[in-house]
Structure 1
Amino acid sequence: MSALQTPPEDPLIASVRLRGARRARWLRDGEDSVARRLAQIGVLGWITVVPMLAGIFAGRWLDRTYHSGIFWTAPLLMLGAGLGCWSAWRWIKSA
């Protein structure tokens, strides 16, 4: 390893730093309001539902176009659900 490269940070140290930063922000700003918490719940709902609806609409269009029953709708709905849950997880972890 050359002098210009730094070793990758240990995940435990990164987690401790993140927790410390969140605690410092909480001490500085205080507790979030009820309205802010409700807004976060609403955002999580939309983050989860929108990819599922997109999968349903795309699947229905493909099924109508190719006369295939629900061949495309079901898998695209599941794909949308997975994508929505993954997006929600990432949003929660970044907050």
Structure 2
Amino acid sequence: MTKKPSEPPTTDPLIKEIRKHRSRREKWLREGDMSVGRRLAQIGVLGWIFVVPTLAGLFFGRWLDALFGTGIFWSAPMMLLGLCIGGWTAWKWMNAR
């Protein structure tokens, strides 16, 4: 059994990306491709990551409109805020994988 030399910590972004790529490749060689079911589950989760904050923003905006009697003044900005939060969350979730 060979012992891997310890790698010194570095702040160079290129070296970090190379190490990340190498670890992903080693994982792929070890585990293989994901199943179709797992890929569909990830797509479903990604959809819910968008939908839930958007609907929550719309619900909160409608509640504020009903509370203040402002028609649809708060609905659109709150829905847009929810969409932005959902997009940011989805982006972070996709890049964490």
* Structure 1 residue runs without a partner (length 5+): 1-6
1:13, CA displacement in angstroms? 1.6
Count the aligned residue pairs.
Answer: 90
Deviation per residue, 1:1-58 (Å, 9 max, x gap): xxxxxx8612222111111111110000000000000000000000111100110000
TM-score normalised to structure 2 length:
0.87
Give the partner amino acid of 2:48.
W
| Matching residue's letter, 2:68 | Y
* Cα separation, 1, equivalents of 2:14 and 2:50: 29
Give structure 1 regions of 4+ aligned residues with deviation exceeding 2 angstroms. none
Please point out which of 11, 14, 19 is paired with 1:12.
14
Task: Give the % identical residues.
Answer: 57
The match for 1:49 is 51
Point out where structure 2 has 5 or more consecutive residues left out of the alignment: 1-8
Distance in 2, Cα, partners of 1:47 & 1:91: 9
> Cα offset for 1:71?
1.0
* Distance in 1, Cα, partners of 2:66 & 2:44: 32
